[in-house]
Each structure stands twice: as C-alpha cells, then as structure tokens.
A and B are shown apart, each in its own frame.
Chain A
C-alpha cells in the first residue's frame, strides 16, 4: 500500500495555489488551517501563520471560500483543521455542512477530544499520553483515519522523529484497523521515511507552512522530497 502524504497549509489568498503546488509535488491530502486567535495546540510557526491570516481577514466565511477555491484546483481530500471556538460560533452542524459543500472531505478540531461533541463527524486525534481506552474511543468514532500525535507537545518541527511514536502505533494497531497517520514534529525526508515505515500516512505542518512562504515552486520541491522519502 502506498503511504499517504498529507500537507498542512494555512488558509489565505495564496492557499489554493499552494495546495495545487503541494499536490503537484505528490501530496495525497491537504489540510487547510482555519486560523484561531488562541491556538493552544500550535507552536510558534503555525501560531504566527494564523496571526497573519487573521490580519489578512481570514475569518470563517473567507476560509470556506478559500476551501471552495482550493477544491476547484485539486482533487485530493481536503480537510479543514481548526479550533472549537470557530465551530461554536458558526454552529457545529452548519459548519460541517458548509465545509462539506465547499469541498471538505472531513474535519479536524484540535481542541475537541473524542468525548466532547461526539455527534460531530471528524478525524480524531490520539497522543502518546492517551490511554488504551481513549485510543479505542477515538478509533471507533474517527472519520476514516486516526491522527497520531507523535509527541507530547505542540506543533512544530523537531530535530528527531519522536521516539514515542512507535509505542503509540503499536497500541493503536492493537485497538483498530483504521489507517494511522502520524503528525506533529515531522519535517525532514528522514523523519518522513522513518515514520512511513510504521504508519499508513504522515502529516507535515509547520515546515510546510514555512516553505510555503517561499512560494509554490519551493513547496512543490519540498513536497517532492517528502514523497520520495515516503515511497522509498
């Protein structure tokens, strides 16, 4: 089975072209960050990108438009990733419906653990700290695949692939058959290759956001290097 390569980008004027560039480089899935003023799960790179997007006027409606424009350019699954406060203000069901209408294939809400708002269909996250029981709960309710947070911490590139990932994968495999994608801290082709050996997909966020600031061509090249590593 080829491994899935997911790339996270912050919503914004450039996001549709950047998503197209990521897909040209071999991305199989694109996450679009809908910025929130107080992103607890994010390290400095994504927090700063979110601050800039908010200054640029990327509120929920503009993010949904960005999603729709991105959908016109790429065929891969598109998943908004955001925080509960945006959904709370918009209405949880309405948000899910309007995101789907704009081309989203699922949702990720970083501060909505599996037992909070269980009626909302979304990709659930588990972390190295999650108990086996919580891994099972998340796997049972997740939408398609399970997001493994590789480390105990916030988003952001790390020097090494988290040593906690292997044990989490083992526990998740014991609990579920759904595909497992690993994210948080993965930034280099070496990380990508090592992670792809044990999971079904990887998610690259902070480094992709950084590279995207240099434009679509740089992003395509960077994603291509990840693709080659993942397929190796």
Chain B
C-alpha cells in the first residue's frame, strides 16, 4: 500500500502526541521483525506446537445444500478463536521491544483470553479492560482470564462495551507507555496496528488458500467472514485480494454496521467508516454478539469497500442465532455468534464454491443462545 498506514482516505495516527514515539518505536520494531527470519520462525513454531496450526478446512455437507461450502476452522485454534494468532505474534514483538506489561481491551472476551494466554506463556503482566455489560454476557471468558492470571478491569461508563474498553486501554497505555505494549485486538487503531494485525492474521488466508486448492483444485467463488474490527476478515481476505475472480464478502452485525451505515470519522486513533452522527460524535452499536458490538472498523476495510474490491452486508441478531443453531444441528459444530453472522449470509450468496472463516467457537455464547429459546 502506498504510504504506510494510509488506506485511501482512511488510516493515519489520530492519537495524543504522548503515544507517537511509542508508535514509531513499534513500527521500527515491526519492520525489523519482518526482516528477521527468526521472528517468522518463532511464530510458525508457536503456531504449530502451542496454538494448533494449521487449523483444518472442513467441508460442510448439509448446512447449505446447493453449495460446496468449506469452513476454515479457527474455532479449533487454542483458546477458541483466531484472536490467538494476533496475540501470540504481538507478544513476540513486545518481547523484542523489551515491554513486559501488556494492556488490551476485549469485547467477547476472546481477545482478552488470547492475550492472557500469551502473557501467561511469556511471563508478562496482563491487564485487560472489559465493559461491564460484556463481562456479564461473556462470563466464562472472564473466569478464563482470571485463571490465566490477568487483571480484568471492568469499564463502568458509557456503553459499557468494547468501545469504552478500548478507550480505557488506550488511556492506560498513555499513562504507562514506557513499560507497556498495547496489544490491540483487531485490525483497527493508529498505524502501524492495522498492518501488524493483518499480517499476523494473514496465516488464516494463506492456509485456507492452499487447503482449498488441494481439495478443489481451484479458488473459491466467494470468501466470507464476519466483521467486527475486521481482523479475521482481513486475515482471510488479504491472501485473495489479488485474485479478482474471488468475491470477498464481509458480514457485519445489522446494529453495528460501521461499513454499511457508517460515515467517515475518527475513532481510537484512525480515520475510518464509523457509526457516528453528523457532528462526528460516535454512536452506540447494538449486537447480540459482543465481538461485533463496536461502532468502528479497520481502515483497510473502508478502503476495500470504497474501491469495490470487497462488499459488506449485514445479518441480524435473529439470523445469526438461527445460523448458530443450524450449524450445530447440520454439521456438529457450535460456532461463535460472531462467526454465525458470516454463516447467516451463505445461503443467499450467488456463488457455488464458498469459503467461510469460522472465526471462533460458540461455547462462550451458549447461555445467550439458550436464553433465546428453541428455534
């Protein structure tokens, strides 16, 4: 991409000056890591021996009968979601930067669990900010984080969800920037974060591309992923962006459609498409899925939307829950509610060979789905 950190009209570094030197240091550390074969080797090794990479590609025979549907099984990754790819990679980076205190935000708790896991493994201090509302609806993940030794700090103001948790994590970073690495959970935030997270998640797309070529001997017609901040989507899209014949489809929660109903605004350090009013004030998002309940999205997705290379659609809470139940019954897999949004749009895609990123497993969502009653 042209200027680093700039994606068309989006991206940039809209943060207090206090953080700029840390972002410069992070960028330099990242470039050095990318040029250092031992960095990539360590990440591959951690993936293979600790996280469970490569994850399988599963043919779903009955979920969508008129399609050949493949699921990229990030739900089978250690800790149950793709978030660990990013958390482990950034932990290796933090160690190279000499930072031993990690701060992160979490919505569904998956990124918090992944970060707490990486910190336990690396011996880092771990502080996770989580909205009080999300702590309520993703209780099992809060308990996991505690067991992994993380200090989970409830955020009791504003929306009490991922937006405020992210703001508080950034404020903590501002106050402790000398000792602390901010381990952001999605492809959002100031440059170089969107690039770092994309690269660390691109393993999803690289594996899936090889795997589908091995069984189908051709590329998929469409690649589908849910979009919260956009990290699992950009991770699987990035490998197919150059293949113009492959459609890239992102699925947002209908009540949190930053790309579908947003406008250009500045949130959490970058300019992107955001749910905001005409004065640039950020609006509240609403989704049953805590991981998608965020009014912003990574700047590269806004760029891919504007350029037409990717398209973005939505799924409602009800559609996601129905897809959750259907995958459980038809394929024996409980998907995360986030991933269920991607599944919900498969049926109406005008495509035969479809690859879906199953970004996480649904254990954390059982209470919420069961509470909605039988379908």
* Chain A residues near B (Cβ < 8 Å): 36-38, 40-41, 43, 47, 51, 54, 59-61, 83-90, 110-114, 116, 124-131, 134, 138, 149, 152-154
Contacts and interface: CB of A to CB of B under 8 A. Distances in A.
Contacts of B310: none
B64 interface: no
Contacts of B281: 36-37, 54, 59, 85-86
B13 interface: yes
Given A40-B170, A154-B174, A129 B264 contact: no
B178 A152 contact: yes
Nearest to A42: B171
B265 interface: yes
A111 to B, nearest CB: 5
Nearest to A48: B157
B280 A152 contact: no
B266 A111 contact: yes
A149 B266 contact: no
B62 interface: no
Nearest to A62: B279
Nearest to B296: A38
Contacts of B217: none
26 contacts: A41-B16, A59-B279, A60-B279, A83-B266, A85-B265, A85-B280, A85-B281, A88-B266, A88-B271, A89-B279, A90-B280, A111-B16, A113-B13, A113-B16, A128-B18, A129-B18, A129-B20, A129-B177, A130-B18, A131-B21, A134-B20, A134-B21, A138-B17, A152-B18, A152-B175, A154-B175
B15 interface: yes
Interface string B260-279: 00011111110100001111
Contact of B17 (A37, A130, A153): A130
Given A113-B13, A149-B18, A38 B267 contact: yes
Interface in B216-269: 263-269
* SS class, residues of chain B in contact with chain A: mixed
B282 A113 contact: no
Given A89-B276, A153-B174, A113 B21 contact: no
Interface string B136-173: 00000000000000000000011000010001001100
A128 B174 CA distance: 11
Contacts, number: 116
A145 B55 CA distance: 56
Contacts of A110: 16
B120 interface: no
B22 interface: yes
Given A85-B276, A85-B280, A40 B174 contact: yes
- 8 cross-chain pairs, A with B, having the tightest CB-CB distances, nearest first: A89-B280, A85-B280, A127-B18, A85-B266, A153-B175, A84-B266, A41-B16, A59-B279
B109 interface: no
Interface size class of B (residues with CB under 8 A): 35 or more
B113 to A, nearest CB: 25
B17 to A, nearest CB: 5
Question: Which of B14, B158, B268, B278 has the most A CB atoms < 10 Å from its CB?
Answer: B14
A114 B263 CA distance: 25
A85 B282 contact: yes
Contacts of B264: 88
Contacts of B263: 89
Nearest to A114: B17
Contacts of A116: 12-14
B14 to A, nearest CB: 5
A152 B177 contact: yes
Contacts of B174: 40-41, 152-154
A131 B17 CA distance: 10
B169 to A, nearest CB: 10
A154 B171 contact: yes
Interface string B6-43: 00000011111111111000000000000000000000
